[in-house]
Amino acid sequence: MTYSCGGSRSISLHSLFIRRTEPRRAVSILPNPLAATLVLGGARSGKSRHALALAEERGARGLFIATAEPFDAEMRGRIDAHRLERSEGWRTLECPLHLHEALATLPPPPGTDTDVVLIDCLTVWLGNLMHHEQDVHDAADRLLEALQRCPVPVVLVSNEVGSGLVPDTPTGRRFRDEQGRLNQRLAARCERVDLVVAGLPLTIRPAAAIA
């Protein structure tokens, strides 16, 4: 199942004013590049299709980690339509919140039956975190740690949301800002970054560009 990032989810105003009551936990995120590709793009840009093609180049045994939930008929229809795009070699794991735990389940080679992981998408994942009033910065730390330890290549899909109109609500503006910060953190670490516009991919960082 390939989930579109166009779904919506209500977020309580209370989540905008959560203050950290405990110190940030210690993290062990290294500066070395991740064996990961970040695919960015707007809604209906073709980013999911491009990400799938990149992932299938890396092997026939894929794990698709779905962050969206089929909470209405429209989303279920999107899920059903995108499921047909993937070959039979793909397994699906639904994971709306704890991506780091999903990645931690993969055994290292040669014990793994997975050649590549495709996560689609981080925008829906961020919305889920905000909806459930989770600490998005801590979740991003945990995701980066898990990507650092992942034994197989990972392709991540995320929306580029900063090129449109300024959202007219505090919730929308916070979501836009958090998405931009998340994209920057991942782009700084992923060995390859692509931007998809109108179905055409542009490689912003080739795989060998990180020193």
Paired tokens of 27? 């993290």
Contact 89, 62 (CB under 8 A): yes
Choosing from 82, 98, 100, 131, which is the catalytic residue?
82
The DSSP output letter for 58 is T
Whether residue 82 lies in the annotated active site: yes
For 185, phi and psi rounded to 5 degrees? -65, -45
In angstroms, rounded to a whole number, what is the distance separating the alpha carbons of residues 198 and 43? 10
In angstroms, rounded to a whole number, what is the distance separating the alpha carbons of residues 159 and 182? 10
Contact 148, 29 (CB under 8 A): yes
Q: Is 37 exposed, middle or buried (0-12, 13-18, 19+ CB in 10 A)?
A: buried
In angstroms, rounded to a whole number, what is the distance separating the alpha carbons of residues 40 and 59? 22
Question: Which residues, in sequence order, are bridge partners of residue 62?
Answer: 90, 116
Residues known to be catalytic:
82
